[in-house]
């Protein structure tokens, strides 16, 4: 089944379809990870995007029951050089073609994904369409150029109702903007008593759950499309310790008066070096973001830059100068990728402990 991949700039690639036979339109983004395709295709932050992988062989260890980052993938399509037809691994249960067919997502193989990546890097983000070879490319191109990409992805992928993930440790409210399950796993591993809540929960509702700390998850799209979350974070600041990841980091920055901007082609991969400006240490990190916090907007805000990307100098971490809150643009939960930054979850729990001690000391001094 021949298929075509048509880019907004008029480039056409011809390949072989796999997975669902449907046509699809989305923003085409590249990920440079050599492994971790299952976590990538199930990361809700890719909602509405067509993902291409620069590594040429994808699907060789199949799809297994453990490595999903969400129950249903939200991506709009998958572009690979070679989709392995004979996966081999003791955990393998399905090929990627079988999986995409089951989930009704179109894929296209036989594409020179490194050439495609160079086009995106030169041009900047592009919309693209995966469609049948029988479609008229001129008509598809017209449709593609006229298509406005959706701006309600967070609403689409966030949980509709709160749910608990109990533990015996600190109580953490985890705001789900399109959460990767790795974040929940990391909190549960540390025995946190977690309540996951929808993206549009108010600050009052969250505070009424008496959290020891609040986590702001990753999620898809432009942070400015979620104004209710910015209002919520403003209401939380200073009332409870906050740790934000990726979209959570961007929303936190907006709530503190800084600004975010769309990047030319984003960071997506498993080996992005990030420097901690306090310790000078460099961590290799897993990343997936197309927006970043604008550097010039920090000076008038109560924020301090704590981490930067070594590849292009963009902001990768922030902390609030007055209240207990810090955020990172990258993924300390990895899934997939290196676990260098995993200690940030401990840092969050330590921040909760210090905040509790300060609160107890303040109460004592009032009594005196």
Ligand X SMILES: NC(=O)CC[C@H](N)C(=O)O
Tell me the backbone φ, ψ of residue 183, rounded to 5 degrees: -65, -45
**Closest CB 220 distance from ligand X, rounded Å:** 5
Instruction: Determine the 3-state secondary structure of 78 from DSSP.
Output: strand
| Stretch binding ligand X (CB under 6 A), from 10-18, 182-190, 283-291, 308-316 | 283-291
**Closest CB 178 distance from ligand X, rounded Å:** 7
List helix spans (H) across the chain: 37-41, 96-102, 113-123, 137-146, 153-157, 181-189, 203-207, 227-236, 247-255, 344-367
Taking CB under 6 A as the rule, which mask of x and - marks residues 221-240 in contact with ligand X? x-------------------
Enter the tokens of residue 181: 């399950």
Which residues between 121 and 160 bind ligand X (CB under 6 A)?
none
The annotation places the binding site for L-glutamine at: 45, 219, 221, 247, 250, 288, 290-291
By CB under 6 A, is residue 96 in contact with ligand X? Answer: no
**Closest CB 213 distance from ligand X, rounded Å:** 19
Enter the tokens of residue 200: 């549009």
Q: Which of 279, 270, 237 is nearest to 256 (CA)?
A: 237
Which residues between 22 and 81 bind ligand X (CB under 6 A)?
45
Q: Select 131 or 293, whichever has its Cβ closest to ligand X.
A: 293
| Stretch binding ligand X (CB under 6 A), from 195-203, 212-220, 311-319, 335-343 | 212-220
Q: Select 151 or 239, whichever has its Cβ closest to ligand X.
A: 151
| Residue 79: CA count within 13 A, CB half-sphere | 34
For the question of residue 246 being annotated catalytic, the response is yes
Q: Which of 76, 70, 50, 59 is nearest to 196 (CA)?
A: 70
Q: Which of 167, 162, 173, 163 is nearest to 348 (CA)?
A: 173
The catalytic position among 131, 246, 307, 320 is 246
The annotation places the binding site at: 45, 219, 221, 247, 250, 288, 290-291
Beta bridge partners of 131: 4
For the question of residue 331 being annotated catalytic, the response is yes
Q: For every residue of 331-362, which 3-state class applies, written as one string?
A: ECCCCCCCCCCCCHHHHHHHHHHHHHHHHHHH
By CB under 6 A, is residue 285 in contact with ligand X? Answer: no
By CB under 6 A, is residue 218 in contact with ligand X? Answer: yes
Q: Which of 166, 158, 170 is nearest to 248 (CA)?
A: 158
By CB under 6 A, is residue 220 in contact with ligand X? Answer: yes
Select from 7, 40, 247, 341 the one that contacts ligand X (CB under 6 A): 247
Select from 174, 179, 215, 246 the one that contacts ligand X (CB under 6 A): 246
Enter the tokens of residue 105: 């997502």
Q: Which residues bind ligand X (CB under 6 A)?
A: 45, 218-221, 246-247, 288-291
Known catalytic residues?
246, 331, 333
């Amino acid at each position: 089944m021949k298929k075509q991949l048509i880019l907004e700039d008029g480039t056409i690639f011809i390949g072989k379809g796999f997975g669902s036979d449907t046509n699809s339109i989305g923003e085409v983004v590249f990920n440079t990870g050599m492994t971790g395709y299952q976590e990538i295709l199930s990361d809700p932050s890719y909602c509405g995007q067509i993902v291409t992988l620069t590594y040429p062989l994808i699907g060789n260890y199949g799809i297994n029951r453990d490595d999903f980052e969400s129950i249903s993938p939200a991506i709009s399509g998958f572009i690979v050089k070679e989709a392995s037809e004979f996966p081999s691994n003791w955990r393998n249960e399905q090929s990627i073609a079988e999986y995409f067919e089951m989930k009704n997502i179109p894929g296209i193989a036989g594409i020179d994904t490194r050439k495609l990546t160079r086009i995106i890097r030169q041009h900047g983000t592009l919309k693209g369409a995966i469609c049948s070879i029988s479609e008229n490319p001129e008509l598809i191109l017209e449709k593609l150029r006229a298509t406005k990409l959706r701006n309600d992805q967070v609403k689409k992928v966030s949980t509709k109702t709160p749910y608990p993930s109990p533990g015996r440790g600190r109580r953490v409210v985890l705001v789900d903007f399109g959460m990767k399950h790795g974040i929940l796993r990391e909190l549960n591993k540390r025995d946190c008593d977690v309540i996951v809540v929808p993206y549009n929960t108010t600050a009052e509702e969250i505070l009424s759950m008496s959290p020891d700390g609040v986590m702001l998850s990753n999620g898809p799209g432009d942070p400015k499309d979620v104004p209710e979350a910015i209002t919520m974070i403003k209401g939380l600041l200073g009332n409870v310790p906050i740790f934000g990841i990726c979209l959570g980091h961007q929303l936190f920055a907006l709530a503190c008066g800084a600004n975010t901007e769309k990047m030319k082609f984003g960071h997506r991969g498993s080996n992005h070096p990030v420097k901690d400006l306090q310790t000078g240490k460099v961590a290799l990190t897993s990343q997936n973001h197309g927006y970043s916090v604008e550097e010039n907007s920090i000076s008038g805000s109560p924020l301090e830059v704590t981490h930067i990307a070594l590849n292009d100098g963009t902001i990768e971490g922030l902390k609030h100068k007055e209240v207990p809150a810090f955020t990172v643009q990258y993924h300390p939960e990895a899934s997939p990728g290196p676990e260098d930054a995993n200690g940030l979850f401990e840092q969050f729990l330590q921040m909760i402990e210090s905040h509790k001690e300060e609160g107890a000391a303040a109460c004592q001094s009032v009594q005196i």
